[in-house]
Chains A and B, each alone.
Chain A
Amino acid sequence: MSGRTILATIRVVIPAGAAKPAPPVGPALGQHGLNIMSFCKEFNAKTAGFLPEVPVPVMITAFKDKSFEWKMRTPPTSYFVKKAAGVSSGGGRPGHGMTAAISLKHVYHIAKLKQQDEGSHHIPLISMCKSVIGAAKSMGIEVIR
């Protein structure tokens, strides 16, 4: 049991199906002596069904004996909001030019997706929606009916 004490918890965001030993994965795992290759292969296999390049947040628990466990979470809310708004980066400066927008329907679908995260099953949908709306607003993206 003593070998399985946690050394570090590492959070990385990796595009689906594209884990490679290069940064950010390489240094993140390499610094703790973890087997980069086996993680990459496993990650790519598990995200084989995802749309390519979707950012996947991963939480890796590295143990002192160089073994590790890892979990995936749903992509960041900001990714979904940007996609729904059709922008490649956060919305424009408030008050200047065209503002990107998403609809409440988008908010609902994104909230449902994010609710699938392990820690979020019990959170009521309305709260998830509020947090999506908050994320959109902080990115300068409007939420319209």
Chain B
Amino acid sequence: MASVCNVRCAVRALLRHARRVPSTPSTRVLSSAPRASAAAAAGFNGFTRASNPTVGTHRGRPPRTQTALASTLNPEGTIDANLGGGSVDQVRITRVDGSNVGELSDVLLSLGATCCSVEDADLGTERETELYAGDDKVWHMCDVTAMFPSGCDIDAVMADAVDILGVKSIEYVVETIPDNDWVNVVMDSFVPIKVGDGLWIVPEWAKTLPEGEEGALSVVLEPGLAFGTGEHPTTRLCLGWLRDNAETCVKGKHVVDFGTGSGVLAIGALLMGAAKATGVDVDPLSVKSARRNAQLNGIGDERLALFCADGSDGSDLPQDCDDAVDCVVANILVGPVTQLAPLFARYAKRGVGRVCVSGVLATQVPTVREAYGKWFDDLTYTEEGGWAVVSGVRNSTPAP
């Protein structure tokens, strides 16, 4: 191990001081003679033009410009505002022998790759091999794609890789994936979603529901990065619970949605007849998104109050909720949900207020019950796909 380290340091020092020979736009080859499996220079798949990085149908969609997207949605561009990540540099190494793939991925990941993906090099051709889940095999020839944070010195990393693996060279291609390529992918996954009988969630631009569903309750959401798109079992569980209990704790009542995300639960409750809803989220972008979604559903500020807080600082929280809320709903994760139990106990009307929490796995239900048991009775839960929604009724034990 020590010898590799020394050689690695030496190679690195050498490369840093060597004069860079300007390389051809995209293909770079390190060191001397090619190694049979890794380089296979003769058999390269023609991935040489930097101007067209996403050749091939299986590589995903071509990059689209940001401006077009922003103008069809929120002019403030809520979508891209959250993308602190920036672009990534993607290194593609094609036609790697299947037996070497594991080692290559290990090395790249240990050298700072944030992600390493392996595909069939013959995908889309007649030599394609079909592998199924549980197969412990790899494809005969693989394409390896590694992503690095932008600004990373790819050449140095690849030089280290060549050295650690003990090969003569590795041929690779670098492309920069712009920030919003994958945002578009998320966008495109939004279609109207059936959450329950007569209950739908639709993305802003897809307002028409399938035949026969015109009378259904539909919550219109602006597709964005906040959670609560309706696809997740927990959103379905919570909305379903709200609808099943609409008579007792939604219609004409005050509902608090903690961890509101896109606002889907608060808005759903208002559409089901709640008199007033309050949404709280720790993420200011979620609060923004929830406000926008409320507008899309014709709900104004007087019906939906929104706060940006995490529940620890009382001054950020709504001031009119103590012992005044008919229904507290929270779809977050087990940690926050258990920590917020005392706060919800304060909010829920003693004796009648209901609580409904989710974002917890079915296995985490006992933890939730323990946290809420002091102030809430009749704690029951429903399960779907491994997720659970736990609900209970506020008893008369004084709140902390």
Contacts from A to B (Cβ < 8 Å):
1-2, 4-13, 17, 20-24, 26-33, 35-38, 40-41, 44-46, 48, 57, 61, 63, 69, 76, 78, 134, 137-138, 140
Which has the most chain B C-beta neighbours within 10 Å: A4, A27, A32, A61? A27
User: Is A5's CB under 8 angstroms from B117's CB?
Assistant: no
Chain A proximity of B261: nearest CB distance (Å): 10
Told that A27-B88, A45-B387, A138-B5 touch, could you supply 13 new A-B pairs with CB distance under 8 A? A9-B117, A13-B115, A22-B82, A23-B147, A24-B147, A24-B149, A30-B60, A31-B59, A32-B60, A35-B231, A37-B231, A45-B334, A45-B360
CB pairs A–B below 8 angstroms (5 shown): A26-B186, A31-B185, A36-B185, A37-B231, A138-B4
Q: Mark B90-119, 1 if CB is under 8 A from A, else 0.
A: 100000000000000100011000111111
- Chain B residue, CB-CB nearest to A9: B118
The 3 closest A-B pairs by CB, nearest first: A30-B182, A22-B85, A24-B114
Chain B proximity of A49: nearest CB distance (Å): 8
Which of chain B's residues have a CB closer than 8 A to the CB of A13?
Answer: 109, 114-115
State whether A28 and B335 are in contact (beta carbons under 8 Å apart), knowing that A23-B88, A138-B4 are contacts in the complex. no
A contacts with B: majority SS: mixed
User: Is A27's CB under 8 angstroms from B181's CB?
Assistant: yes
Range for the number of chain B residues in contact with chain A: 35 or more
User: Is B83's CB under 8 angstroms from A22's CB?
Assistant: yes
Q: How far apart sit A48 and B118, CA to CA, in the bound complex (Å)?
A: 28
Which of chain A's residues have a CB closer than 8 A to the CB of B231?
Answer: 35, 37-38
Q: How far apart sit A76 and B111, CA to CA, in the bound complex (Å)?
A: 12
State whether A27 and B177 are in contact (beta carbons under 8 Å apart), knowing that A35-B231, A37-B227, A78-B110 are contacts in the complex. yes
- Chain A residue, CB-CB nearest to B385: A42
Chain A proximity of B183: nearest CB distance (Å): 7
User: Is A10's CB under 8 angstroms from B185's CB?
Assistant: no
Chain A proximity of B165: nearest CB distance (Å): 14
Chain B proximity of A52: nearest CB distance (Å): 10
Q: Does B22 contact A (CB under 8 A)?
A: no
User: Is A37's CB under 8 angstroms from B186's CB?
Assistant: yes
Q: How far apart sit A22 and B59, CA to CA, in the bound complex (Å)?
A: 19
Contact of A6 among B2, B114, B133 (CB under 8 A): B133
User: Is A138's CB under 8 angstroms from B1's CB?
Assistant: yes
Which has the most chain B C-beta neighbours within 10 Å: A1, A28, A33, A61? A28
Q: Mark B199-227, 1 if CB is under 8 A from A, else 0.
A: 00000000000000000000000000101
User: Is B114's CB under 8 angstroms from A63's CB?
Assistant: no
Q: How far apart sit A30 and B229, CA to CA, in the bound complex (Å)?
A: 17
Q: How far apart sit A23 and B2, CA to CA, in the bound complex (Å)?
A: 33
- Chain A residue, CB-CB nearest to B9: A93
- Chain A residue, CB-CB nearest to B229: A37
Q: How far apart sit A38 and B185, CA to CA, in the bound complex (Å)?
A: 13
Q: How far apart sit A76 and B107, CA to CA, in the bound complex (Å)?
A: 13
Which of chain A's residues have a CB closer than 8 A to the CB of B334?
Answer: 45, 48
Q: How far apart sit A140 and B59, CA to CA, in the bound complex (Å)?
A: 39
